[in-house]
Amino acid sequence: MIKRVVEISSGPAHLSIQHRQLVIERPEQEPATVPCEDLGVLLVDHPAVTYTHRVFTALAEVGAAVVLCGPKHLPSSLLLPLDANAVQTERQRAQLEASLPLKKRLWQTIVFAKLRQQAAVLKVFLGEDAGLAELARRVRSGDPENLEAQGSQRYWPRLFGRSFRRDREGDPPNNLLNYGYMALRAAMARALCGAGLLPTLGLHHHNRYNPFCLADDLIEPYRPFVDWRVRNFVADKEAPEFLDREAKEAVLSLFNETIEINDRRSPLFLAVHSTAASLNDSFSQGEPLLALPQGLPLLDETTDEAPGHPE
């Protein structure tokens, strides 16, 4: 079953658990409920939301991630279950003992896939890929030439115009990109915990203040999906200064898109679990076996349930 991404962005609201249902109560409204087992990510982006303690423990029991946003609508906390996998000690030991050459080869695979995905995005909107596909073929173990950064220098001005600068604090549509990446990061961190791995220990990212370095590594080839969705969203309208329900819903619905990963079709929300599981296989077998996305979403494919749902 595809898990849902539920966002609470209007308030005041009170969250509690009754009969294994997340109950969302607002003044002068009928309570809304969501089965806990349907939840993959709960994203709270409003200061006037209160909780019972059981909300966090019940969602941890079903393996859901909880993202809490601060005043700037950026994530300030990500809560993940600690015992999501019965053999996590064994898997984390293999992760900790992974050799540097293996980590470099895994990062090579990730950068190759990211550049290939960015090339596909540019091809759709511009009819050419600015040489990113060729750049991808030149990536070596560990990406010593930093071709990832070189690709970004070609990619962003072509996708959103010469004046655009990709900056977390920058002008729109940076806010839309931030929102999509935040949701991706939470989904990937959840998948890594489910696979019994430590999301803190990255392959390439290693900021001492970043507790989700490994999640940030693995979402790199998925980021172009967000870019593609945002570019489509702002194609016929000005990028919104503030994220409204329409914008958030458009971004979150990305998780229900069908994509190809290792020559198989999968909803994006499930694909991140395949990627996390394949990283565990890589650590246990000592060779890069990453399952990563290939190409853009298959637009003719749909599913019955959309996980993106702002409340």
Residue 73 identity (one-letter amino acid): H
Residue extents of the structural domains in the chain: 4-79, 88-301
Superfamily (CATH) of domain 88-301: CRISPR-associated endonuclease Cas1, C-terminal domain (1.20.120.920)
Which among 162, 136, 140, 164 has a CA at the least distance from the CA of 150? 136
In three-state secondary structure terms, 127 is coil
Place of tokens 């570019």: 231
Residue 310, C-beta contacts closer than 8 angstroms, at least 6 positions apart: 6, 7, 8, 9, 245, 248, 249, 252
Quick one: tokens of 20? 């294994």
Compute how many other C-beta atoms are within 10 angstroms of the C-beta atom of residue 147.
Answer: 21
Read out DSSP for 20-82?
Answer: TEEEEE-TTS--EEEEGGGEEEEEE--TTEEE-HHHHHHHHHTT-EEEEE-TTSSEEEEE--S
Neighbours of 130 (CB within 10 A): 19
The tens-digit pLDDT sequence of the chain (311 residues) is 678 889 898 889 999 999 999 999 999 899 999 999 999 899 998 999 999 999 999 999 998 989 898 887 767 788 888 765 557 788 999 999 999 999 999 999 999 999 999 999 999 999 999 999 999 999 999 999 999 999 999 999 999 999 999 998 999 999 999 999 999 999 999 899 888 898 889 999 988 778 789 999 999 999 999 999 999 999 878 888 888 889 989 999 999 999 999 889 999 999 999 999 999 999 999 999 999 999 999 865 444 344 455 56
What CATH number has the domain spanning 4-79? 3.100.10.20
8 Å CB contact between 167 and 213: no
C-alpha distances in Å from residue 119, one per residue of 154, 164, 260: 10, 18, 16
- Report d(CA 37, CA 52) in Å as an integer: 18
